[in-house]
């Protein structure tokens, strides 16, 4: 059993950090009104507004912010400002024992997948795959359902995903239960061969991505296949794959054909179309908790992520 962090209370202070690329500062400022609506205070990391090319500060500065927020007992949760690129550059230097000894809510997605996987493996911590402040919350497209998903941080609640949210498609039927792991497909593939590669043995694997053409998704899934990650999983939850249309190739397989090729022959439950990822609404989920995928009725049930 992974460690579930303590729930948030009205008046708690959350830390805001930029573990990867520089967030849009105007959007980040707009997102603060939402935190106020939730009854939360906030504190920026020292380097949240630092720009170092395509990175939000040096590796050491971004790592310092991450460590500071976990070590500070007045910070009750951490929400990432945005993703982009760069979290994997310092993951091998993270004090993962610090996080295990100071468990608290950690929320983000996309490039943050590398941190989720590391914390799950070495800090034994439940973390949250959800919309971030500058890249999601501060934009006009931020959806009402996306906003509601933050309530799971204040009260332990079982999450139920059905087709009331949007259409789903069963690739392979069946019902299966397991710990929910995964995240951004590109980041999961880049972790293969490192000490931070995702463990899918007996688990429900969730994948999503953005801006990857079918041939790129093909290569990423093939990487997971050859590493045994697809065979090891008990089922696959396919999230949102937006902006995936072929850009340069006149002839291409469709994304559905790619999914069917790699996931349809596994002989285990697979459902695609979940609005989890680079999309609105964005259904936020805890990683590292028990979940049940019913591919026959196209539902996903997830246990609470907080105590």
Residue 297 counted as domain residue: yes
Confidence (pLDDT) at 250: 75
State whether 26 and 88 are in the same domain. Answer: yes
CA proximity to 272, closest of 146, 195, 185:
185
User: Contact 147/124 with Cβ under 8 angstroms?
Assistant: no
State whether 90 and 174 are in the same domain. Answer: no
Question: What is 190-203 written as a DSSP string?
Answer: HTTTSTT----TTS
pTM reported for the whole predicted model: 0.97
Residue 7 counted as domain residue: no
Domain stops at, among 153, 171, 191: 153
State whether 46 and 176 are in the same domain. Answer: no
Confidence (pLDDT) at 11: 98
Catalytic residue positions, numbered: 110, 208, 278
Confidence (pLDDT) at 249: 72
Residue 86 counted as domain residue: yes
State whether 129 and 186 are in the same domain. Answer: no
State whether 111 and 21 are in the same domain. Answer: yes
The whole-angstrom separation of Cα 157 and Cα 247 is 41
37-60 confidence digits (pLDDT tens): 999 999 999 999 999 999 999 999
Q: Domain holding 171: CATH number? A: 3.50.30.60
CA proximity to 186, closest of 153, 223, 149:
223
State whether 263 and 206 are in the same domain. Answer: yes
Residue 4 counted as domain residue: no
**Domain span holding position 119:** 13-153
State whether 112 and 166 are in the same domain. Answer: no
Q: What is the gyration radius of the CA atoms in the chain, in angstroms?
A: 18
Confidence (pLDDT) at 134: 98
Residue 82 counted as domain residue: yes
Confidence (pLDDT) at 247: 85
State whether 237 and 129 are in the same domain. Answer: no
Residue 5 counted as domain residue: no
Confidence (pLDDT) at 22: 98
State whether 136 and 203 are in the same domain. Answer: no
CA proximity to 185, closest of 144, 220, 138, 155:
220
Residue 3 counted as domain residue: no
State whether 199 and 147 are in the same domain. Answer: no
Q: Domain holding 57: CATH number? A: 3.40.50.10740
State whether 25 and 141 are in the same domain. Answer: yes
226-252 confidence digits (pLDDT tens): 999 999 999 999 999 999 988 877 789
Residue 307 counted as domain residue: no
Sheet of 159-161, strand order = 159-161, 299-302, 290-294, 175-184, 204-210, 235-242, 270-272, 169-172
Domain stops at, among 109, 137, 153: 153
State whether 120 and 184 are in the same domain. Answer: no
Residue ranges of the chain with per-residue pLDDT less than 50: none
Domain stops at, among 123, 153, 183: 153
Total tally of structural domains belonging to the chain: 2
């Amino acid at each position: 059993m992974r460690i579930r962090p303590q729930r948030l209370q009205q008046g708690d202070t959350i830390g805001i950090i930029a573990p990867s690329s520089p967030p849009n500062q105007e959007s980040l400022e707009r997102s603060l009104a939402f935190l106020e609506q939730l009854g939360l205070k906030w504190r920026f990391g020292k380097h949240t507004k630092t720009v170092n090319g395509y990175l939000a500060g040096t590796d050491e500065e971004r790592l310092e912010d991450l460590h500071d927020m976990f070590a500070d007992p007045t910070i009750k949760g951490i929400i990432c400002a945005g993703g982009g690129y760069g979290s994997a550059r310092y993951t091998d230097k993270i004090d993962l024992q610090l996080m295990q000894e100071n468990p608290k809510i950690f929320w983000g997605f996309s490039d943050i997948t590398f941190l989720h996987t590391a914390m799950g493996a070495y800090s034994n911590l439940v973390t949250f795959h959800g919309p971030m402040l500058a890249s999601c919350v501060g934009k006009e497209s931020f959806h009402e359902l996306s906003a509601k998903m933050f309530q799971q941080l204040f009260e332990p609640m079982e999450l139920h995903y059905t087709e009331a949210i949007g259409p789903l498609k069963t690739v392979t039927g069946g019902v299966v239960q397991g710990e929910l792991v995964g995240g951004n497909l590109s980041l999961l593939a880049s972790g293969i061969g490192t000490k931070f590669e995702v463990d899918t043995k007996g688990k429900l694997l969730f994948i999503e991505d953005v801006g990857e053409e079918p041939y790129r998704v093909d290569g990423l899934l093939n990487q997971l296949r050859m590493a045994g990650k697809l065979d090891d999983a008990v089922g696959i939850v396919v999230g949102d794959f937006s902006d995936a249309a072929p850009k340069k190739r006149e002839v291409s397989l469709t994304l559905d054909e790619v999914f069917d090729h790699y996931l349809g022959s596994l002989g285990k439950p697979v459902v695609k179309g979940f609005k989890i990822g680079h999309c609105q609404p964005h259904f936020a989920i805890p990683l590292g908790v028990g979940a049940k995928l019913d591919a026959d009725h196209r539902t996903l049930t997830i246990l609470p992520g907080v105590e």
